[in-house]
Amino acid sequence: MRIGQLSRRTGASVRSLRYYEEQGLLQPVRLASGYREYGEEDVSIVRGIRLMLAAGLNSATIAELLPCMTDDGQTLRPACSGMLPDLHRERERLSGAVAELLAARDALDTLIEATVPFEPADSAACQALATRSSSAGKAAPAIRSSG
């Protein structure tokens, strides 16, 4: 099958498929005409790549783990337990990133809750910010004088 057919069957864009090839994740046969030719096994490979990318894995890690995946047509799964430490490591990395994002959101919530409304005219910087917010199509926040 050609790259367009593989794209339709997997939901991956043609550009993504070319990127997977550049990264060594996908290795189509090159015809004399220069066209890429893909087999049925490439559908499973692309499914695996997309699943692992969605899981937050980078291309280098995917290249290491992809040969250890099996696809029965319904479910893609690790074929060997030797890849479990890598999967657990990536899960911990993602958990750390989630914790950092939650902490950032909490800090932002603290700033939002601590904001005391005041007249923008009281500060040139605040007036500029209110003007910028209004021109961006956002309604300026309700304001009132604190004094």
pLDDT in tens, the chain (147 residues): 999 999 999 999 999 999 999 999 999 999 999 999 999 999 999 999 998 899 888 899 899 888 888 777 667 777 788 888 888 988 999 999 999 999 999 999 999 888 877 655 566 777 777 777 777 655 445 444 444
Residue 42 exposed, middle or buried by CB count within 10 Å (0-12, 13-18, 19+): buried
The predicted model scores a pTM of 0.65
Nearest to 90 by CA among 100, 102, 79, 98: 98
